[in-house]
Amino acid sequence: MSRYAVIGSNSFSGSSFISHLLKGGHDVIGMSRSAEIHPVFLPYKGVDTGIFRFCQLDLNQDLDAMMDVLNEFQPDYIVNYASQSMVAQSWNHPEHWFQTNAVATVMLHDRLRFCDWLKRYVHISTPEVYGSCSGLVHENAVLNPSTPYAVSRAAADMSLKSFIDAYEFPVVSTRAANVFGEHQQLYRIIPRAALCFLTNQKLQLHGGGSSVRSFIHIDDVSRGTQMAAEKGAIGDVFHLATDRNISIRELVELVADQMAVRFEDHVEVVGERLGKDSAYLLDCTLACEQLDWSVNISLEQGINRVIRWVRDNLSVLLQQPQKYVHKR
């Protein structure tokens, strides 16, 4: 089995990827700036295959210690989910987003390029770097970010391109559509809608929910991420998305239908967020053809799984933060 290091292991995507790896019997080290969060948000808890060790290390503060752990463990693959990830909030303190997503991330890359044990570094990027798009976006599309979050992520992406050219740095990148699934933070739209509908709260729908997105279950993304790590060539960028595009309003209506509640009774339309892009419609040709990757979980199946998770853990979830809490 391979060895993996997952940076940003407390994130929804990072913890879900760890769960996926452990089920496959791999040895994994997880790193995050905070102590492990509540187990309800950590799907790898209770997985009894593979070997997992957690290290509380901050990419911004503990790079030397992080490199000591990595050099001792010598993982075959490093997958980096660590980022300041909220879009709207990035306007409030853009310097925090640039510090983590650009400066600290590039410093990590500059240390990793000397690690001859590293087979692949997987850079988890975002479709936000493309800006607002029309039509299908191909993997080689020009970057056109429109928010501090997106600009900070694009800076790291462009820096990696220079590292490939100068050092043949062994990186592959992924850009996934809007991921969702069980264990996701409660401020994300699908678990938030389910929680609001179960507890008779009003769900605020920014801009009337006109933005169009592709929602993909995290299990499909985790599987594609491992395939990118193990099969991708240096410099490849893989899109992971479904071919089903849906507005946020239609998505919330779908959640309401599955929960047998009236959309009109539970939703409040509010103003749009600053700089919110209208659409990301990703072409996944490279992932489908080169990795033989495909989507297995439909939107309805995934929503049903999230609703069931919220119902089964409602008493615990009501004690957890339901809004984003910014950490510098």
Domain locations in the chain?
3-179+215-240
Distance CA(172)–CA(238), nearest Å, equals 8
Sign of the C-alpha dihedral, residues 293, 294, 296, 300?
positive
Span 51-77, average pLDDT: 98
Nearest Cα to 26, choosing from 52, 53, 1, 54? 1
Distance CA(120)–CA(224), nearest Å, equals 15
Asked whether the predicted pLDDT for residue 178 surpasses 80, the reply is yes
Question: pLDDT averaged over the chain?
Answer: 94
Question: Which secondary structure element, helix H or strand E, spans residue 196, and what is its range?
Answer: helix 189-199
What would the pLDDT profile of 85-115 be if each residue is shown by its tens digit?
Answer: 888 889 999 999 999 999 999 999 999 999 9
Task: State the pTM of this model.
Answer: 0.94
* Assigned token pair, 319: 């004690």
Distance CA(12)–CA(40), nearest Å, equals 11
Bridge partner residues of 216 (DSSP): 179
Q: What is the 3-state secondary structure (H, E, C) of 140-170?
A: CCCCCCCCHHHHHHHHHHHHHHHHHHHHCCC
CATH number corresponding to 3-179+215-240 = 3.40.50.720
Helix 248-258 with 189-199: angle, nearest 10 deg: 40
Confidence of residue 277 (pLDDT cuts 50, 70, 90): low
* Assigned token pair, 172: 């592959």
